[in-house]
Amino acid sequence: MREMGDEALARAAAPVPAHSQSISPQQYANAQRAIRGQELTGGFMKASAGDDRTLVVISLGHGVEKQARGEDGQKHTVIDRGAVSAGGITESELADRVGRKLFEYLENDDRYHVAFFRMPGEIVDQKELAMSHLEARAHFMEAMKRQLGASRGVLLDLQANSSASPRDHGMEVVVDQIGRGRDGTATNPNSTALAQHLLAEIEGYQGLRNRGVKTYNARTLDAAEKAAPGNDDVAVVIESLFLSNPGDEKVADYTVRRPQELAERIARGVLSYELAREEAEKTLIAQGPDDQAKPSQGTLVADISASGVSSVGPKGG
């Protein structure tokens, strides 16, 4: 067991809201009911007219109670906390600590509605959900958007990597791809743009290696993007480091105790993506009626490469 200081314990115990004040408790409760197949209360409640906020869903990886078949062939109830480092740091613990801080950076910015899929420290019971907890993260974003009348969603799934080889290390951001296998074409180029903005800000954090944007078939991301027309919903998995690597584990230990820097870098990445999106939309509107017909189809990748952010391909081998 690692020891926590009094200050860290006090912080861990402090309550954190499930959503920003721009979201009503009933809207949040209804989105949670939707992924459990329960009836909604009070119907849909649109946000005030002119609301143009982007919904940011913080999806804390793992933290799920589910049934798994043991070596005896029987089903057992297990708590999935994701990968575990040699010293006992879990993926869900790392995600919870960073996510809690990330919420603080985003909640008071009136660009965003912010909501947690699950709360830091909470264990979601898979039995209660009407779908897999991976898909539920995406469907929660869609349900939340409908409740708010919001037109854009950003799903940030916070995870950490693990590998059979202790030598693998560094950060990567994953976007969903078309089809199976690895390193194919991203389903949504705007998700790739978000991933690039995030990596540009996270790069340099505690000396972690930047492994770039990865594309592979990820159910959470797939469902998030398919639910929205055009490229209005973007979704990424942030794999901040490898818990299986001794050097990265030191960074994990530091981050669990002091999550603010990584959280702030993620918040800056989201903001820089949002600014690029706003700029791209202005350009599309200025181009006239032909292009205005489908403003949501705009792709931000070109803007990113033009601004000099290093692009680590969705292609590549």
Residues within the interface to Zn ion (CB under 5 A): 61, 82, 91, 159
Q: Estimate the crossing angle of helix 91-107 against helix 246-257, to 10 degrees.
A: 40
In the complex, minimum distance from the CB of residue 33 to Zn ion, in angstroms, rounded to a whole number:
26
Q: How far is the CB of 117 from Zn ion (least distance, A)?
A: 14
Please identify, using beta-carbon distances, which residue of 93 and 274 lies nearer to Zn ion.
93
Please report how close the Cβ of residue 314 comes to Zn ion at its closest, in angstroms. 21
CB of 91 to Zn ion, least distance (A): 5
Q: Give whichever of 61 and 99 is closer to Zn ion, judged by the CB atom.
A: 61
Q: Which helix (H) or strand (E) holds 97?
A: helix 91-107
CB 119 within 8 A of CB 14: no
DSSP E strands in the chain: the ranges are 54-60, 64-69, 75-80, 112-116, 124-125, 152-161, 171-175, 210-215, 233-242
What percent of the residues of the chain are helix, what percent strand, and what percent coil, each to the nearest 5?
A: 40, 20, 40
Calpha distance 16→8 (Å, rounded): 15
Distance CA 267, CA 230 (A): 24
In the complex, the smallest distance separating the C-beta of residue 112 from Zn ion, rounded to whole angstroms, is: 25
Nearer of residues 61 and 63 to Zn ion, judged by Cβ: 61
Q: Which residue, 91 or 176, has its beta carbon nearer to Zn ion? A: 91
User: CA-to-CA distance for 106 and 32, rounded, in angstroms?
Assistant: 21
Query: Closer to Zn ion at the Cβ: 91 or 274?
Result: 91
